[in-house]
Amino acid sequence: MRLTVSEIASLVGGTVRGDGAVVIEGAAGLGEATPRDLSFLANPKYKFQLETTRAGALLVPPEVETGKRPAVVVKNPTDAWAAVLEILDKERTRRPAGIHPTAVIAAGAKIGRNVTVGAHTVIEEGASVGDNTILYPRVYIGFDSSVGADCLVYPGVTLRERTTVGNRCVLQPGVVVGGDGYGFSFGAGRHRKIPQVGTVVIEDDVEIQANSTIDRAAVGVTRIGRGTKIDNLVQIAHGAEIGENCLIVAQTGVAGSTKIGNFVTLAAQVGVAGHLKIGDQTIVAGQSGVSHDLPPKSVVFGTPAQPIKDEMKCQAAVRQLPKLLDEFRAIKKKMGWGS
* Nearest-angstrom CA–CA distance, 55 and 66: 11
* Nearest-angstrom CA–CA distance, 94 and 150: 16
Average pLDDT over residues 12-22: 96
Q: Looking at the predicted structure, is the pLDDT value of residue 1 above 90?
A: no
Average pLDDT over residues 195-219: 98
**Mean pLDDT estimate for the chain:** 96
CB 109 within 8 A of CB 121: no
Average pLDDT over residues 240-245: 98
Q: Looking at the predicted structure, is the pLDDT value of residue 92 above 90?
A: no
Average pLDDT over residues 185-208: 97
pLDDT of residue 91: 86
DSSP 217: P
User: Residues near 118 by Cβ (< 8 Å), separated by ≥ 6?
Assistant: 96, 100, 103, 134, 135, 136, 137, 138, 139, 155
Average pLDDT over residues 45-69: 93
pLDDT band at 339 (very low <50, low <70, confident <90, very high): low
Q: Looking at the predicted structure, is the pLDDT value of residue 298 above 80?
A: yes
How would DSSP label each residue in 13-53? T-EEES-TT-EE-EE--TTT--TTEEEE---GGGGGGGGT-
What CATH architecture is 3-92? 3-Layer(aba) Sandwich (3.40)
Q: Looking at the predicted structure, is the pLDDT value of residue 234 above 90?
A: yes
Average pLDDT over residues 6-20: 96
| Residue 207 parent element (H or E) | strand 207-208
pLDDT digits (tens, 9 = 90+) for 167-184: 999 999 999 999 999 999
pLDDT of residue 211: 98
CB 124 within 8 A of CB 161: yes
pLDDT of residue 288: 98
pLDDT digits (tens, 9 = 90+) for 113-125: 999 999 999 999 9
Please give the positions annotated as active site: 238
* Nearest-angstrom CA–CA distance, 256 and 275: 6
How would DSSP label each residue in 68-122? TS-EEE-S-HHHHHHHHHHHHHHHH-----SB-TT-EE-TT-EE-TT-EE-TT-E
pLDDT of residue 41: 95
Q: Looking at the predicted structure, is the pLDDT value of residue 300 above 90?
A: yes
pLDDT of residue 275: 98
Q: Looking at the predicted structure, is the pLDDT value of residue 146 above 80?
A: yes
Q: Which residue, 206, 76, 80, is CA-closest to 150?
A: 206
pLDDT of residue 184: 96
pLDDT of residue 78: 95
pLDDT of residue 338: 75
* Nearest-angstrom CA–CA distance, 22 and 20: 6
